[in-house]
Amino acid sequence: MFAAFPIDSEHFRRPDQQWAVNFRVRDLDAMIDQLRRAGIEVEEHKESYPNGRFAELTDPEGTPIQLWEPAGADSA
């Protein structure tokens, strides 16, 4: 699935960034632990949302990556 953002969106934090990758994960805590043990910096969202929990990191080229553990209707 692709979802476009408005050209002036601040979602990516950088005006030259046009894409992000979103991975749906079964166990966000386990994935965060695994990444941190490998020395990768991960920013976990402190709040849960109706559609689940999220964390963010970047790849070596600076591309944003979002991890999503779905909840509610999105978990089906």
For residue range 24-62, list pLDDT tens digits in order: 999 999 999 999 999 999 999 999 889 999 999 998 888
Task: Identify the bridge partners of residue 70 per DSSP, sorted by sequence position.
Answer: 52
Return the half-sphere exposure (C-beta side, CA atoms, 13 A cut-off) of residue 56: 9
Quick check: is 47 in a domain? Answer: yes
The amino acid that residue 76 corresponds to is A
- Is this prediction's pTM over 0.85? no
Quick check: is 65 in a domain? Answer: yes
CATH assignment at residue 37 = 3.10.180.10
Higher pLDDT, 69 or 19: 69
What pLDDT is recorded for position 9? 72
> How many domains, in total, are found in the chain?
1
